[in-house]
Amino acid sequence: MSTMSLKNKVAIVTGSSSGIGAAIAVKFSSEGAKIVLVGRNQTKLNAVAVKCSDPLVIRAELANDDDVKRILDETIQKFGKLDILVNNAGISLCGSLFTGDLMRSLDELFKINFRAIVYLTKLAAPYLKQTKGNIINISSISGQRVSPILGLMMYSSLKAALDHFSKHAALELSPHGVRLNVISPGPVKTDILKNTDKLETTNTHHISWDEFASTTALHRVSEPEEIAEFAFFLVSEKAKGITGSVVVHDNGKFLKN
């Protein structure tokens, strides 16, 4: 039975049209939060919106500063406050020294997987101060170890940058009673592989979920709901002593090979 422990909390979840973000939005809504769904694909946003209680749906391109600003503006206009920011949206795009398009992967990943998070965090900080709120950033275990998939060079490097930025931000927010934590998943069954295929010009990186499962110590891939449960714990009162942590939820991928 739900405890409704997020009753009347206002939560922005980026990338909530799909995968991990969608699962977090649905979980937080079931716990009583007022949800701001953010994504680009209207059909997918609609499918998640019907699983949440009266959400605010914002179509936004996170590469665009004006769109990022609009997310905050529309949230405050509708709900008057912000309690939780989940920086989840992300893409994967391959490139290494000898494979794919390294500079394109750097530029595209930088915009979505790093810059947009920094900007949204900066814009949200004054509001989170008022509510003694919470931030969750979704990173990846690949930010902590070099992946055998060489094409993940920039994806991994920018997740490492996100981990470090998050610790700085957590320190600066802590005197204001705002907590910030990072979740670093291993493989999670979402649309990310399909979406990566759409972005790739080379087909060097195709790997199935079964193959990913074999790269983990537990030989499994998580469902998005597992990450959502973890995010719920981290924003709850039970985690009141946790900030600046990069917490791993990876089926033991870090331990393997």
Ligand X SMILES: NC(=O)c1ccc[n+]([C@@H]2O[C@H](COP(=O)([O-])OP(=O)(O)OC[C@H]3O[C@@H](n4cnc5c(N)ncnc54)[C@H](OP(=O)(O)O)[C@@H]3O)[C@@H](O)[C@H]2O)c1
- Positions in the binding site for ligand X (CB under 6 A): 15, 17-21, 39-41, 44, 60-63, 88-91, 112, 138, 140, 185, 187-188, 190-192, 195
Q: Which is nearer to ligand X, 101 or 225 (CB)?
A: 225
Which member of 114, 155, 165, 232 is catalytic? Answer: 155
Angle, alpha carbons 119-74-134 (nearest 5°): 55
Instruction: Supply the DSSP symbol for 97.
Output: S
- Residue 127: active-site member: no
Are 14 and 187 spatial neighbours (Cβ–Cβ below 8 Å)?
A: no
User: Phi and psi dihedrals of 57, rounded to 5?
Assistant: -105, 120
Q: How far is the CB of 171 from ligand X (least distance, A)?
A: 22
Q: How far is the CB of 59 from ligand X (least distance, A)?
A: 8
Q: How far is the CB of 242 from ligand X (least distance, A)?
A: 20
Q: Which is nearer to ligand X, 4 or 255 (CB)?
A: 255
Distance CA 66, CA 50 (A): 27
Are 180 and 170 spatial neighbours (Cβ–Cβ below 8 Å)?
A: yes
Q: Which is nearer to ligand X, 81 or 234 (CB)?
A: 234
Would you please indicate which residues are annotated as catalytic (active-site) residues?
155
